[in-house]
Structure 1
Amino acid sequence: MDERTRADVERAEAALVEHYPRLVRLAYLVLPPSMGRHRRVLTAHGLVQRALPRARLRRPDGGLPAQRGPAAEPGYDVVRLRALRLALAYEDRPVRGPAAMPQVWGLRLFPRAGGAEELALDQALSAVPAPVRAAIGLWQLEGLDEDAARGVLARAGVEEPDAAQRAAAQLDRETGAGAGALLNSGEFDPCTVQMRPTDLLRRRQRVRVAVALTALLAVGGVVAGVSRGDGDRTGHTETVAERALDPGRLLRTPNDQWTDTSRVDFTAWPARGRQAGDQELLGRALRVWAAPPEDARIVASAGTSTRPPDHPPQLLYAGLIDNVMVVVLHDGERLVRYAEPEDATPTLHFARVDDADPTTGAALVIGRGNGWMRYLLAPWISDVTVRDLVAPAAPVHGLHVAPDGVTDRIPTPPVGSAVCGHWPAAQFRPSTRIGAAAVNPPFLVTDLDDLVPVRLTSLPPGGTPAAGPGEATGAPALQGWARTVCSLGSLRGAGVRSVSNWAFAEQRLPEGGGSATWMCTRADTWRGPGSVTLQFLPPAARPAEPAAIAGRAANTAACSRFGAPVAGDVRWRAKSGKWYLLAAGSQEVGGFDVTGGVRATGDGGTFAAPVGAGGPGAAAQVVGRLRSGGSVRALRP
């Protein structure tokens, strides 16, 4: 090894030591929020410690790009680039097993909680992919300008750095000028953390002491910035755990707090139900949550932790629902429903709800049976009606609500049926006490077998996802949902928060076949990632005729406010019997090129070409040309 290579390595080592907290903060920001704060803290430290180059350093051709902004110190840009590459790799290929991170058995570590602004920024960051978070970090934490950040992103392996920077700029505008200060706050500092126990109650006191001491020693070498006053004495953490299981310490929100708060979500729900004062029942629910018996049934929505409570949760409901004793608790991040049937084992149902709002925090499923369910409504819901989305012109039906907020039974959507003959949905009207009707209009929700119903929205033709979806209660939106709602069956139990229909293109069909609509149906989950289904809606003989699936994509930002252009294609048969290849794209698409079994080209946002001798089975690759340059491939089914 020559002297220059040795010097490079030594400079990288010095930079790592000097700027360790800065590097860990950047890695923590880029790592997927779905990992959870504990795992993300430990993984960020582990990645930065693995970022040192080996002795045989190979300098990439061309050198590192010059940085306009704070000058990088010798060696620092090397370790930053390696840490960034490792963190970005977790987006699709998470490292598992003991080598992935330092091990801290028996303790959970997480940064100090911030205020409402930090929470809003964290929620916005969880909805974008890792390259966008990396771009924000390079701007706001590292002080790089666009050109320098683009170079670092490209060298870190980001396939489309320009798209990542555009999405980052959009997010930066929406979060305001204080994003940089917020990212430098304790909410995003994985070097100053708090400790909480995991399974303290399952170990004897002597074992607990040994584990806590061992964990503290392990963390001491990794997280030097742990606050001294938080959880450093076993007696203190025992008190915290005991308080979390004390029914007398359950949080109870005053009945009318929802009318005078800026945070209208599950935290504003009062405690309701006839058994809300039953300490024995509440104590049983907390103990089963902390240590479920072997025969207990545990259900968790996708991406939801089932860990025991680490602080006294909030009580939302306790009462008898259809001969089942039910307790619903909220710990600030999750809803937990404890169901205690007569002569049967208890059930725990967990659902993540840490980004709720007046619509997604408007109801939860309090009871469920064969073909029916009941909602428990938020106190700000003043009226509920039920409609069949498959019959958009049918009248709505009123629904009785008990004084404690529990509705009558509502039919559930069909499961496993080849024919989707009906699809019940509830239409909620918010109280004017949280805003005028123009500000908080009625909205639709439906049940997809999770603890929280899914909000349904719609974007009209000519609209863009950046403008945000509207409520799906108008006639055009209901007509679109009548033909696409049955595709929601594939999303059952997936932890979906909301689903939006976006009519991204209208197309005149060949041979005078009328007008067709291209729809992108996007499902967003509580944990962040979303999926899309492109659907083709030709003229139909009946309002609920199902759409044709034109393409699908999972874990994508497509059709969202952070999404790239989208395109799709289908085979369509005219009345003459002739088959055509049809394609359409969003507003950014200005033309199409088709290769393979069909060869054709055309300008405009829609495209049609006869498939020729190959018929409907002719294989073809469809690529949309963007008006700004570049291209987008049509999604495949």
Structure 2
Amino acid sequence: MDREHYDRLLRLAYLVLDDGDAPLVRARRVAAGAMRVRRGGYPAMRARLVAILLDEPPGGWGGAHRLFCEPVRKPPGPVRAALLELEPRERLAYLLRRDGLTAPEIAAEMGAHVPFDFWDVDRVVAEVDGRTGLDEDAQRAEIEAFEPDLIRLRPPTAGSVRWRVAVAGVLVVALVVVAGQVLTRAEEASSGGPAVVDAGVWRATGTPTVYEWPVQGGLRNDAGLLRRAADAWRADGREPPHGRVYALYAGTVDGASLVVLRDSPGLRTPPNVAQYFERRLSRGVESVRRLRSSTGQLIMLGMTWRYLVPPWLRDVRAALPSGPSPTWMPVAVRDGLSDPLPWRWFTPGCQNYLVFEMTFRPAMGGWPRTVTQLASQDPRSAAPRVWFHDPPRRDERFRWAALRAVACGAAATLSEAGDLRLGRLWSGELPEGGGRATLLTVDASSPWGTPGGSVLIADDGRALSERGRTNGDFTSSAGTMAAAVWWRSARRWHLVAAAGPGIARLRMVGELGTHEKGTDRADANLLLVVPGPSAEGRIRRPLPLVQVVAYETDGDRTVISPS
């Protein structure tokens, strides 16, 4: 019975710790530690195993142990492949569920060590179900059939210790003398290297992401280079990878060998991307950045003026956002690597971002789509993808003005935002000769649940106001419906509030009294402009405290603050 418990504990520990590096020694230490529990049987041992995995992450013994006791490597089944995409605590929750615990029991057992509730358990199990396409019995069968301890080393008996030690010593000498170099090369090629995604995976989905990004580049078959890159990132004490490491690119760029890698931190967190360079006099990881979303993004390669482009994006062109109108420059891409852009483009300005437009043609069929991204000039910064709430007729002039406002007019902080969704809530003439303006809404995909923002911009993208608020966010199914900002004319401050279809009435309350604007048309846009205090003395006196209430046609209402 003890051996049966040990085998189950070892399997759990191995599958939790497995990041593609065969962690048998670490798993055996965890299982042995859990076996020290003398009362309570297997449930108590499993609880101790959970505590060790979550509170006392076991260290490794370096690479030499693989020579003697690592299992035979073979391609993982659907369940193991799905677990490699999860972070360790998510793997543990799934395995406990398949080990017979209910979601509340798992939440209680893990919750004593890390924040984890039964909703998280259900989410992880559903994710593995979707990735494997197998039912519960088939998943459990694969798990129970997996035996990490293939060499079946059992605890030695007292009488056989000396004999086993002698045999092991002879084996060490023979291996080192006769086959040392061969084993070293085999170890170099087979352990520690990053995983790769099959080249055809992205064609099977209509919305490919970084998780379907195959490895590209002329050095993608150089196993030694890939292993050194993955090992260097794992050894990074500041920003090591989480979960399994994948290669996105391996090639020669401007005389240096370059490997671009990404990790697998789990379902809730977008992956990190690391860039490893080997030059004549140096080698190492030179940048690590967190993607703000999992959509396929352009990645700047060091300070080479080049970008890595996923294979599903074609017809790449770029422009500087500082111009009043776009001057597009075609950008050639070969094997995932773009030609260098003009170095003079990489000067401080507009938050150090460039505008890229590309075409996505779904391999599964469908109409080509234009993809817009604001790619950074810094390899450590994100590349937000931009979406538009367009009217029935696509307005290129508005789109460029919105991009200029975001990049150059500080309508959004690009280094902190994920994907952006931009919309036009109102366009028209401002009072007191303020000219024509547009109330632009800006919703960001991250951090999750970030309230929507708004800004008043001129037709050329100049920001005419500070940022305001909206009653929407990126995840809202209905999108942004109302917004409010403070705008300063030559003489005084004005509260400018606007609403799109679905809002029947806008009402402002606060220190400026009560003001209201309504409509009977369900498809009408509302504008409410309320004069405020004199513009003189702004520094000495704060703006009045006001709130705008948006009444929806179905009776619901939301409250917006202009700042």
- The TM-score bracket by the shorter chain reads 0.5 to 0.7
Rounded Cα–Cα distance in structure 2 between residues aligned with 1:516 and 1:260: 44
Q: CA deviation at 1:327?
A: 0.8
Match of 1:375 among 291, 307, 311: 307
Is residue 454 from structure 1 mapped to residue 384 from structure 2 by the alignment?
yes
| 2:318 counterpart residue number | 386
| 2:274 counterpart residue number | 337
Q: 1:614–1:390: structure 2 CA closer, same or farther, 3 Å change rule? A: closer
| 1:286 counterpart residue number | 230
| 2:56 counterpart residue number | 105
Is residue 603 from structure 1 mapped to residue 517 from structure 2 by the alignment?
yes
Cα shift readout 1:147-205 (whole Å, capped 9, x = no counterpart): xxxxxxxxxxxxxxxxxxxxxxxxxxxxxxxxx9x95883379xxxxxxxxxxxxxxxx
SS of match in other structure, 1:274: coil
SS of match in other structure, 2:229: helix
Cα shift readout 1:559-587 (whole Å, capped 9, x = no counterpart): 7326675431313316xx35433323454
Q: CA deviation at 1:603?
A: 1.7
Q: 1:497–1:235: structure 2 CA closer, same or farther, 3 Å change rule? A: farther
Equivalences for residues 396-411 of structure 1 within 5 A: 396-409=328-341
Match of 1:535 among 455, 474, 492: 455
| 1:503 counterpart residue number | 424
Rounded Cα–Cα distance in structure 2 between residues aligned with 1:426 and 1:515: 28
| 1:361 counterpart residue number | 296
SS of match in other structure, 1:264: coil
| 2:440 counterpart residue number | 519
Is residue 624 from structure 1 mapped to residue 554 from structure 2 by the alignment?
no
Is residue 273 from structure 1 mapped to residue 217 from structure 2 by the alignment?
yes
Equivalences for residues 205-216 of structure 1 within 5 A: none
> 2:464·2:487 contact (CA, 8 Å) conserved in 1?
no
Rounded Cα–Cα distance in structure 2 between residues aligned with 1:185 and 1:545: 45
| 1:491 counterpart residue number | 413
Q: 1:488–1:429: structure 2 CA closer, same or farther, 3 Å change rule? A: farther
Is residue 592 from structure 1 mapped to residue 507 from structure 2 by the alignment?
yes
| 1:51 counterpart residue number | none
Match of 1:479 among 397, 401, 408: 401
SS of match in other structure, 1:361: coil
Q: CA deviation at 1:590?
A: 0.9
Match of 1:581 among 467, 490, 495: 495
RMSD across aligned positions (CA) = 4.8
> 2:209·2:296 contact (CA, 8 Å) conserved in 1?
yes
Q: 1:291–1:589: structure 2 CA closer, same or farther, 3 Å change rule? A: farther
SS of match in other structure, 1:521: strand
> 1:568·1:583 contact (CA, 8 Å) conserved in 2?
yes
Rounded Cα–Cα distance in structure 1 between residues aligned with 2:430 and 2:292: 45
Q: CA deviation at 1:441?
A: 1.7
Unpaired stretches in structure 2, ≥5 consecutive residues: 1-50, 60-77, 87-102, 105-118, 129-142, 153-185, 266-270, 519-525
Equivalences for residues 246-261 of structure 1 within 5 A: 246=190, 250-256=194-200, 258-259=202-203
Rounded Cα–Cα distance in structure 2 between residues aligned with 1:620 and 1:344: 58
Cα shift readout 1:29-52 (whole Å, capped 9, x = no counterpart): xxxxxxxxxxxxxxxxxxxxxxxx
SS of match in other structure, 2:473: coil
Rounded Cα–Cα distance in structure 2 between residues aligned with 1:314 and 1:382: 23
Unpaired stretches in structure 1, ≥5 consecutive residues: 1-99, 123-140, 143-179, 190-226, 237-241, 300-305, 464-469
> 1:558·1:565 contact (CA, 8 Å) conserved in 2?
no
Q: CA deviation at 1:516?
A: 3.1
Rounded Cα–Cα distance in structure 2 between residues aligned with 1:489 and 1:550: 7
Equivalences for residues 93-132 of structure 1 within 5 A: 103-106=54-57
| 2:561 counterpart residue number | 635
> 1:482·1:544 contact (CA, 8 Å) conserved in 2?
yes
Rounded Cα–Cα distance in structure 1 between residues aligned with 2:52 and 2:484: 41
SS of match in other structure, 1:549: coil
What letter matches 2:375 in structure 1? D
Q: CA deviation at 1:415?
A: 7.7
SS of match in other structure, 2:467: strand
Q: 1:267–1:363: structure 2 CA closer, same or farther, 3 Å change rule? A: same
Is residue 572 from structure 1 mapped to residue 523 from structure 2 by the alignment?
no
What letter matches 1:510 in structure 2? P
Rounded Cα–Cα distance in structure 2 between residues aligned with 1:247 and 1:488: 47
Cα shift readout 1:329-362 (whole Å, capped 9, x = no counterpart): 3445535423225334622544556963xxx315
> 2:358·2:372 contact (CA, 8 Å) conserved in 1?
yes
TM superposition score normalised by structure 2: 0.57
| 1:33 counterpart residue number | none
> 2:451·2:469 contact (CA, 8 Å) conserved in 1?
yes
SS of match in other structure, 2:505: strand
SS of match in other structure, 1:502: strand
SS of match in other structure, 1:548: coil
Q: CA deviation at 1:521?
A: 0.9
SS of match in other structure, 2:337: coil
Greater mean alpha carbon deviation, residues 244-253 or residues 473-482: 244-253
> 2:292·2:382 contact (CA, 8 Å) conserved in 1?
no
SS of match in other structure, 1:368: coil
| 2:97 counterpart residue number | none
Higher Cα Rg, which structure: 2
> 1:455·1:498 contact (CA, 8 Å) conserved in 2?
yes
Q: 1:101–1:188: structure 2 CA closer, same or farther, 3 Å change rule? A: farther
Q: 1:507–1:394: structure 2 CA closer, same or farther, 3 Å change rule? A: closer
The number of residue pairs the alignment matches comes to 396
Q: CA deviation at 1:284?
A: 1.2
SS of match in other structure, 1:530: coil
Q: 1:513–1:113: structure 2 CA closer, same or farther, 3 Å change rule? A: farther
> 2:229·2:285 contact (CA, 8 Å) conserved in 1?
no
What letter matches 2:247 in structure 1? L
| 1:346 counterpart residue number | 284
Q: CA deviation at 1:508?
A: 4.7
| 1:550 counterpart residue number | 467
> 1:567·1:632 contact (CA, 8 Å) conserved in 2?
no
Q: 1:632–1:607: structure 2 CA closer, same or farther, 3 Å change rule? A: same
Q: 1:350–1:230: structure 2 CA closer, same or farther, 3 Å change rule? A: farther
> 1:290·1:309 contact (CA, 8 Å) conserved in 2?
no
Q: 1:269–1:480: structure 2 CA closer, same or farther, 3 Å change rule? A: closer
Q: CA deviation at 1:455?
A: 0.9
> 1:330·1:336 contact (CA, 8 Å) conserved in 2?
yes
Rounded Cα–Cα distance in structure 2 between residues aligned with 1:611 and 1:489: 23
Rounded Cα–Cα distance in structure 2 between residues aligned with 1:340 and 1:489: 35
What letter matches 1:393 in structure 2? S
Rounded Cα–Cα distance in structure 2 between residues aligned with 1:308 and 1:185: 17
Rounded Cα–Cα distance in structure 1 between residues aligned with 2:219 and 2:272: 18
> 1:388·1:422 contact (CA, 8 Å) conserved in 2?
no
